[in-house]
Amino acid sequence: ENKLTKKNIIIKIYSAEIIEGEHKSEIGTIISDKKNHLYISAINGLISIMEIQPEGRKKMNIKDFLIGFREIENWKVKS
């Protein structure tokens, strides 16, 4: 969900890694360097997303996704 516009999109995650550890982010927060990495905060660490498919688009690696997806910091993951 976009925190500013309240718009929702559906995404499929094809490849991810769990990074265990503590963080101070609210669960579901998206953390990204906007170039190569996208993480989602979880209960016991972070989920590092490697392959993703946004609604109506083809499957792509996270670097290609971040090139075309602007203002990633305005989005939050919802189940």
- pLDDT, residue 52, reads 96
- pLDDT, residue 2, reads 76
pLDDT at residue 70 is higher than 90 = no
Residue 5 lies in a domain: no
Residue 6 lies in a domain: no
Percent of the chain whose predicted confidence (pLDDT) is above 90: 67
Across residues 60-77, what is the average pLDDT? 87
Contacts of 48 (CB under 8 A, 6+ apart): 16, 17, 18, 19, 37, 38, 39
Q: Tell which wins on pLDDT, 44 or 76.
A: 44
pLDDT tens column, 26-48: 999 999 999 999 999 999 999 99
DSSP characters over 3-45: TTT-----EEEEEEEEEES---SPTTBEEE-SSS-EEEEETTE
- Domain containing 27 equals 11-74
Across residues 47-74, what is the average pLDDT? 92
Instruction: Give the whole-angstrom CA distance, residue 79 versus residue 68.
Output: 23
Number of separate domains in the chain: 1
